[in-house]
Amino acid sequence: MKIIPVTCAIIHFGDKILAVQRSETMKLPLKWEFAGGKIESGESEIACIKREIFEELNIHIEVKKRLTPATHQYPNFKIELIPFTAEFVSGELKLREHSSFILAKKEELINLDWAEADLPILKEYLAT
């Protein structure tokens, strides 16, 4: 099965971190994730994450650091999730696809019901 490359961003708003909840009509309904999406043909990872964040959240970010990608096999598809840490720069946060968001302290993130692919990424991030 082909592996779909997907970027996601752990966005810092000061000392809080943004997590978003998938809507009931999306794949993996109501799971929490870091905003992002599929890399388009010919697109760089950085261009992808900046584009997805603006499309989904209406904000601009500064990308800081690439963390370790995680490959995950869901029942119907397989993704390589490529995480970046980032800082909020500008814009008014608006949810264009997700059902809700939370600005959480780092230690609160673990309590959310995460998409499975995010768990190793969250673990690495929490250890930093």
Ligand X SMILES: Nc1nc2c([nH]c(=O)n2[C@@H]2O[C@H](COP(=O)(O)OP(=O)(O)OP(=O)(O)O)[C@@H](O)[C@H]2O)c(=O)[nH]1
As measured in angstroms, the least distance from the Cβ of 33 to ligand X is: 3
Q: How far is the CB of 83 from ligand X (least distance, A)?
A: 8
Tallying the residues shown for the chain, one arrives at 128
**What SS3 state is found at 52?**
helix
Q: Which residue is nearest to ligand X (CB)?
A: 37
* Residue with the two structure tokens 């010919």: 42
> Using an 8 Å Cβ cutoff, are 28 and 104 in contact?
no
User: Closest separation between CB of residue 22 and ligand X, Å?
Assistant: 7
Q: Is 88 or 115 the residue whose CB approaches ligand X more closely? A: 115
First-last CA distance in the chain: 33
Task: Give the list of residues 6+ apart from residue 58 with CB closer than 8 angstroms, or none.
Answer: 91, 92, 93, 94, 96
Contact residues for ligand X, defined by CB under 6 A: 6, 8, 26-28, 33-38, 79, 81, 115, 117-118
Residue 6 vs 86, nearer CB to ligand X: 6
Based on CB atoms, which residue is closest to ligand X, 59 or 115?
115
Total H helices, total E strands in the chain: 2, 8
Nearer Cβ to ligand X (26/93): 26
Least separation in angstroms between CB 127 and ligand X: 18
